């Protein structure tokens, strides 16, 4: 192997330099690490602040509680189907968790019943989709309002008036271990929506679509049905 | 002859260190950006570790860590403060690897499946991955960072030592 001449020269220079720096190696490394940490945190905070998707540090993104980790069932074994973001948690556990906040859990048949209830046409029953925009556009319960609880300020103007007028509000997210519907319901509670109007559909869109119930894509009331599942 | 072969091995080690630095830097920029561009998803994943109780602490960690990783990655690519950056990476990677391992153990006990069959999104910026692969990947990154700590990878550095 023939090395370039300049590379070999560099190595000789480096040997002298290394010997000098090795003596103070640990102190230099620690000092550098502290500088990297301080400057890096400042840069990170600035980047988060400037990013349109940045987090608001003082906001409580999980009104249901930060210390509630997703149960291990949220993980998937390789032999299981990993297409869905979560697998269902026991309904009783979920109902008890929701009850702590005064929220009521409903099952798929109740959600479907409410969907077909004629009061829905009069705006007395409202569906709220608590997922992000991309998932909402990919397919939601027809007529459901978009309300991403992580960006509530964006959705309050459109979702709040119908919620105020409604007698019952069905809030859903992916289903299973997803608790974004709970977060969305608690945000609505915080702006004055009565708790007894808020119903959490625990099965979420995963159960809704697996039952082949109607789904529309794109914007609310677009009338575009989701393509049939393969 | 001996001096020549010693020089060659030093060149090879030097070349390896440069490649290690670039590889580590590129990986951290990629993984950091994956998280930084989807902060809410990263926040939800951070929550699963149950490390921080307060909203401010959780939000700060989720806001700072991804960009900090990008920052460290860029420093390694440019060759600035390489040893300090490598030390920071070790200090980040070791606790994260332990946390991921503990989370995987909890999942294993809940699902009663072989350890290496566990697949979940650990919030590492790569989506759902098999746990054994993730642990090996982290150990590889820790190894590279440790390799850079004594001062290797000095070639093509903008400012190796601050």
Mean pLDDT of A111-129: 94
Q: Scanning the structure block, which residue is given the tokens 């001449």?
A: A5
Give the span between the Cα atoms of A225 and A150, in whole angstroms. Answer: 27
Inter-chain touch B47–A69, beta carbons under 8 Å: yes
For position A40, what pLDDT does the model report? 95
Task: Could you please state the CATH topology (level 3) that the domain comprising A88-210 is classified under.
Answer: Oxidized Rhodanese; domain 1 (3.40.250)
- Domain map (residue ranges) of chain A: 5-50, 88-210
As a whole-number percent, the residues of chain A with pLDDT over 90 amount to 53
Q: Mean pLDDT across the stretch A152-159?
A: 91
Q: Copy the structure tokens of residue A146.
A: 């978009």
Can you tell me which residue has the tokens 């920052």? B71
CA distance B116 to B158: 41
**A76 falls in which pLDDT band (50, 70, 90)?**
very low
Q: What are the Cα distances from residue B66, in Å, to B19, B39, B44, B112, B120?
A: 23, 8, 14, 32, 19
Joined together, the tokens standing for residue A155 give 């959705």
Per residue in B11-37, pLDDT tens? 787 888 888 899 999 999 999 999 999
Nearest to B47 among A11, A22, A62 (CB): A62
- pLDDT at position A78 over 50: no
Residue A1 has pLDDT above 70, yes or no: no
- Listing from the earlier edge strand, what are the strands of the sheet with B118-121? A76-77, B118-121, B128-130
CA distance A125 to A116: 10
Cα separation, A86 vs B2, whole angstroms? 61
pLDDT score recorded for residue B51 = 82
Picking from B9, B58, B109 by the largest number of A CB atoms within 10 A of its own CB, the best residue to mutate is: B58
pLDDT band at A16 (very low <50, low <70, confident <90, very high): low
Q: In whole angstroms, give the CA distance from residue A175 to residue A44.
A: 33
pLDDT above 90: residue B155? no
Residue contact B162–A31, C-beta within 8 A: yes
Supply the mean pLDDT for chain A: 81
Q: From CA B150, how far away is CA B87, in angstroms rounded?
A: 10
Interface check B6 vs A, CB under 8 A: no
* Residue A127 parent element (H or E): strand A125-129
Q: Identify from B39, B124, B145 which residue to disrupt to test chain A contact, counting A C-beta atoms within 10 A and taking the largest count.
A: B39
CA angle at A30 for the pair B66 and B98, rounded to the nearest 5°: 50
Q: Is the pLDDT of residue A74 over 80?
A: no
The per-residue pLDDT for A210 is 94
Which carries the bigger pLDDT value, residue A86 or residue B93?
B93
Residues of chain A contacting residue B40, judged by C-beta atoms under 8 Å apart:
53, 55, 61, 132, 150
| pLDDT of res. A99 | 85
Mean pLDDT confidence for A131-152? 92
Predicted complex ipTM: 0.87
User: Given CB atoms, is B88 within the 8 Å cutoff of chain A?
Assistant: yes
- Choose the weakest-confidence range: A117-126, B59-68, B135-144, B146-155: B146-155
Of A46-55, A92-101, B57-66, B151-160, where does mean pLDDT reach its minimum? B151-160
Closest CA to A63 of A103, A30, A95, A29: A103
Angle at alpha carbon of residue B122, lines to B121 and B128, rounded to 5°: 25
Could you tell me the sign of the dihedral formed by the alpha carbons of B17, B19, B20, B25, in that order? positive
Contacts of A18 in chain B (CB under 8 A): 151, 154
């Amino acid at each position: 192997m023939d090395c370039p001449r300049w590379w070999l020269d560099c190595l000789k220079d480096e040997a002298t330099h290394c010997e000098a720096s090795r003596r103070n190696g640990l102190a230099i490394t620690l000092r550098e690490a502290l500088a990297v940490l301080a400057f890096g945190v400042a840069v990170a905070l600035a980047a988060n602040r400037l990013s349109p998707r940045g987090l608001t540090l003082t906001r409580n993104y999980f009104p249901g509680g930060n210390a509630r980790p997703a149960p291990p069932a949220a993980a998937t074994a390789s032999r299981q189907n990993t297409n869905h973001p979560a697998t269902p948690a026991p309904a009783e556990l979920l109902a008890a968790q929701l009850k702590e906040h005064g929220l009521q859990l409903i099952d798929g048949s109740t959600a479907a019943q409410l969907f077909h209830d004629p009061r829905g046409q009069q705006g007395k029953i409202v569906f709220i989709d608590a997922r992000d925009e991309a998932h909402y556009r990919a397919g939601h319960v027809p007529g459901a309002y978009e309300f991403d609880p992580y960006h509530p300020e964006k959705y309050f103007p459109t979702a709040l008036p119908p919620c105020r007028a409604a007698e019952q509000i069905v809030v859903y997210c992916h289903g299973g271990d997803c608790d974004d519907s709970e977060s969305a319901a608690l945000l609505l509670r915080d702006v004055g929506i009565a708790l007894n109007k808020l119903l959490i559909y625990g099965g979420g869109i995963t159960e809704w679509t697996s039952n082949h119930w109607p789904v529309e894509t794109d914007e609310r009331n677009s009338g575009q049905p989701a393509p049939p599942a393969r | 002859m001996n001096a020549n072969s010693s020089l060659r091995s030093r060149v090879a080690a030097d070349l390896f260190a440069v490649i290690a630095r670039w590889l580590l830097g590129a990986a951290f920029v990629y993984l950091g950006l994956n998280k930084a561009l989807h902060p809410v998803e990263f926040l939800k994943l951070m929550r699963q570790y149950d490390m921080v109780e307060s909203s401010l602490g959780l939000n700060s960690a989720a806001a700072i860590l991804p960009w900090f990783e990008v920052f460290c990655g860029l420093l390694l690519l440019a060759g600035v403060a390489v040893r300090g950056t490598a030390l920071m990476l070790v200090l980040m990677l070791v606790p994260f690897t332990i946390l991921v391992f503990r989370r995987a153990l909890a999942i294993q006990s809940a699902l009663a499946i072989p350890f290496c069959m566990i697949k979940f999104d650990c919030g590492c910026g790569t989506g759902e991955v098999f746990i054994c692969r993730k642990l090996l990947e982290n150990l590889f990154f820790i190894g590279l960072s440790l390799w850079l700590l004594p001062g290797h990878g000095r070639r093509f550095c903008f400012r190796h030592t601050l």
